[in-house]
Amino acid sequence: MNFELTPEQQTFCDAVRGFAEKHLLEGALARAHDPAYSWDVARLMAAQGLLGITMPEADGGQGGTLMDAILAIEAVAMVCPKSADVVQAGNFGPVRVLAEYGTPDQKERYLRKILRGESLICVGMTEPEAGSAVTDLKTTATPDGDGYRVNGVKVFQTHASYAEVMLTYVRFGPGVGGIGSVLIPREAPGFRQGAPSRFVNGDEWVQTYLDNVYVGPENVLLKEGGFKKQIAGFNVERIGNTARSLALGRYCYEQARQWALTRKQFGRLLAEFQGIQWKFAEMKVKLDAGQLLLYRAVVNADKGLPSAEETAVAKAYCNQAGFECCDEAMQIMGGMGYTEETLVEWCWRKCRGWMIAGGSIEILKNRIAESVFERSFSQRPPKTDK
């Protein structure tokens, strides 16, 4: 067992940190308060090789590891927390599912542009009546000629206002086995979005209506039976979400540490009060523990042993720990921490959302409990004979 980064990983981290300090430090505050996707940052990152880090070079990626992508998130977030969203969008979640399961033609049409920082893909899983119980989704794909007609409503998709294409979970047939996914470009006839609304973190979300949208066979990603593969891809989304939670918690910890080393009250530095020192000690324990859980899940996934349990443990812990570190940092920074003059309040709002998104902490704990007792626990009401 070795808890050090390799020399290559350290060099990579230093290079990404240098890139972030040169290009992203200036304007970090304004960027966070702008709800728009940071296209300028996406193009800079594409040129720097920070999009598609884990994807094959033949697909326009970098041929790196999941650990490299996590290190990139961490290095970028310490300089410009909002830009970590761009690393996420170009490496985790729907883009990974597309890279993993897309046909060469689908990758040619959608993936390459995303990896050049010129396009975005969003994922439409959640529906008004299917949130945590995602397999209750009602969006249907019914055969029409060579393709399908898709009807349904999706909510809460990150980047839905800016994405060129939506990886849409659909139902080809009944039950979990009937679920698969299709790629729907936003210009498809019948694809319509409602008025934009805002999450607490400032990001926009829109309701997407799919009214008899025709999807040709060339845009089917995973047919019925594809749900397990999609969720395996989604575990990687969870790892990115986990990394950002912890990274933003660490960013706030560092902001508060600098504050405590300069701000004086009662004629002494805040850092000299034991009540403040203990807050830092507790934050450090949480950040270190979270880091180890995150790296365990990532290193094992890179070894070809991705574990839903390890990912759930890491995400449940880091979502909570990241938020608590932002919260304590805000407290330590007093009135200033509660203003929009620093990014602490933004990180606090952002981390709060990850406790709900991508498998809420409660749903992850259900998953962990199944590992603890080595059996599944149906969340559905018991069946009656009537």
Ligand X SMILES: Cc1cc2nc3c(=O)[nH]c(=O)nc-3n(C[C@H](O)[C@H](O)[C@H](O)COP(=O)(O)OP(=O)(O)OC[C@H]3O[C@@H](n4cnc5c(N)ncnc54)[C@H](O)[C@@H]3O)c2cc1C
For the bound state, the minimum distance from the C-beta of residue 123 to ligand X, rounded and expressed in Å, comes to 5
Helices (H), 102-195: 104-106, 112-115
Find out whether 314 and 239 touch, Cβ atoms under 8 Å. Answer: yes
Query: Closer to ligand X at the Cβ: 65 or 230?
Result: 230
User: Nearest distance from residue 261's CB to ligand X, in Å?
Assistant: 33
Q: How far is the CB of 126 from ligand X (least distance, A)?
A: 4
Q: What residue is closest to ligand X based on CB? A: 131
Contacting positions for ligand X (CB under 6 A): 122-126, 131-132, 156-158, 199, 353, 356-357, 360, 362-363, 366, 379
In one-letter notation, the amino acid at residue 333 is M
Smaller CB distance to ligand X: residue 28 or 361?
A: 361
The two tokens of residue 344 are 């602490």
Q: For the CB of residue 382, give the shortest distance to ligand X in the complex, in Å.
A: 14
Count Cβ neighbours within 10 Å for each residue of 317-339 and write b for 16 or more, e otherwise.
Answer: bbbbbbbbbbbbbbebbeeebee
Query: Least distance (Å) from ligand X to the CB of residue 198?
Result: 11
Closer to ligand X by Cβ: residue 9 or 366: 366
Rank residues 49 and 249 by Cβ distance to ligand X and give the closer one.
249
What amino acid is encoded at 43 in this protein? Answer: R
Token digits of residue 191: 């694809």
With tokens 């918690």, the residue in question is 249
Specify which residues 143 forms β-bridges with: 148
For residue 343, the Cα-to-chain-centroid distance in whole angstroms is 19
Pairing outcome for strands 179-185 and 140-144: unpaired
Minimum CB distance to ligand X smaller for 5 or for 357: 357
The distance of closest approach from Cβ of residue 268 to ligand X in the complex, given in angstroms and rounded to an integer, is 40
**Residue whose CB is less far from ligand X, 96 or 279:** 96
CA gap 326, 245 in Å, rounded: 10
